Chain A
């Protein structure tokens, strides 16, 4: 979805999406037998952590001290924070005290919580307002979609989006999936009921973006700089949003997520995550579908286009059958024809150098057949000089 105006935000968002905490959390989950994540969730977490490991080994994005901060166990609450960063716990609402410590290290601003209810359904969401945001300044909005089993706070801590929001001054909206709508709190990117405009979760999430954008008493959102980012199931939903509400988002950031509509229900969701869709019709559709495909407009084309012939090419041949010719074919006709607009003439020596699939044979076959027809009709061979 290329737009004219770009900020450094998408890159920052992408960098922040490399999540070390995900790896930690997975290890913790494996240790506790009480929580048994689905194979699917485990598979996607595995691929995500693989990438995370590669990326973080070469970067300084996630400091060890802050990684500790995401720990959710009761013991970590009593543990003294290792970081020396000043905290502004006073700014936070009291109800977040349980996770407040983790959240505080993922930003110095304030949180707001709300619930959106539209015709397509209802979801709660949290808004992170960066430190020192001026209500009169137009700022970007980032819609951040968590992965399975996460909530908004987990995702904020894992990505450190809020630190970036403090630094670059943008509002982060963290919608939250409920257990009622998905047992593992995964966004339902893989269900066809949540893959189209004005239906299901994309409609709800778009509604949240629209509402937050219009809350002028709280902040001023720049409609040209609204972004969506997500990991895993959240990444899948981010792609759904990019495909279904392209006018709403200037860019999309996705980590470890399958392509748009690579699955249509729980039955084939796992196959999509394992890449089955990438080998078959799913990728074809993703790449080629003019409406739902990834490539839109003149920016990315997989097949090299030949320019079509310009008006007037038909005057060079009396007989022609078949597809309208390309420009280079028409140029060859004009040189090779033995009769232009009813006037006989000697064909010109011509070299055709276009590539495979360009219809080279047609460039000489049509003028020859046209000439043969005319020569037989006139009964006398064309003069040869």
Chain B
């Protein structure tokens, strides 16, 4: 589940750090994987510090549908949605063709709640 997110996080980190004009863009990776929290975008990866993600919501957030569900439900994560209530523009579902069965049902219920938040 996280392989795709990690892969794209690497690509995005490379893109942001590789172009000066993109240096101000904040992007974060929010998955269930544990590791030393990163507080800024570096060539090694995206922001993973959860406190920072909550307090200053990133421009781009990479996650998976399980963690998105948690973000939508947990009280301490609500600041993220308040801050992006009017600015959230894109919701990207990669590998969309894999979302079928129970997993597809999960995603189909998470998607509208993200939109209405």
Interface residues of A (CB under 8 A from B): 319, 321, 336, 338, 347, 351, 353, 360-361, 364-365, 367-369, 371-373, 375-376, 381-384
Contacts and interface: CB of A to CB of B under 8 A. Distances in A.
Interface of B: 8, 11-12, 15, 19, 21-22, 24-25, 59-60, 85-90, 92, 94, 96-97
Contact of A381 (B12, B22, B86, B96): B86
A338 B24 CA distance: 19
A336 B25 CA distance: 19
A368 B60 contact: yes
Nearest to A352: B96
B86 A384 contact: yes
B15 A369 contact: yes
A367 to B, nearest CB: 8
B22 A373 contact: yes
A336 B90 contact: yes
A51 B44 CA distance: 57
Contacts, number: 51
A347 B90 contact: yes
A321 B63 CA distance: 25
Contacts of B24: 376
B86 A383 contact: yes
B88 to A, nearest CB: 6
Contacts of A336: 90
A319 to B, nearest CB: 7
A104 B52 CA distance: 94
Contact of B90 (A351, A353, A364, A381): A364
B88 A384 contact: yes
A371 B8 contact: no
A373 B59 CA distance: 9
Nearest to B12: A365
Given A361-B8, A368-B60, A384 B21 contact: no
B89 A347 contact: yes
Contacts of A373: 21-22, 25
A373 B21 CA distance: 9
Given A321-B19, A384-B87, 13 more contacts: A336-B90, A360-B94, A361-B94, A364-B92, A368-B89, A369-B22, A369-B25, A371-B89, A373-B21, A375-B87, A381-B87, A384-B85, A384-B86
A347 B91 CA distance: 11
Contacts of A384: 85-89
Given A365-B15, A369-B25, A373-B22, A382 B60 contact: no
A367 B90 CA distance: 9
A369 B17 CA distance: 13
| Most chain A beta carbons < 10 A, residue from B25, B85, B92, B96 | B92
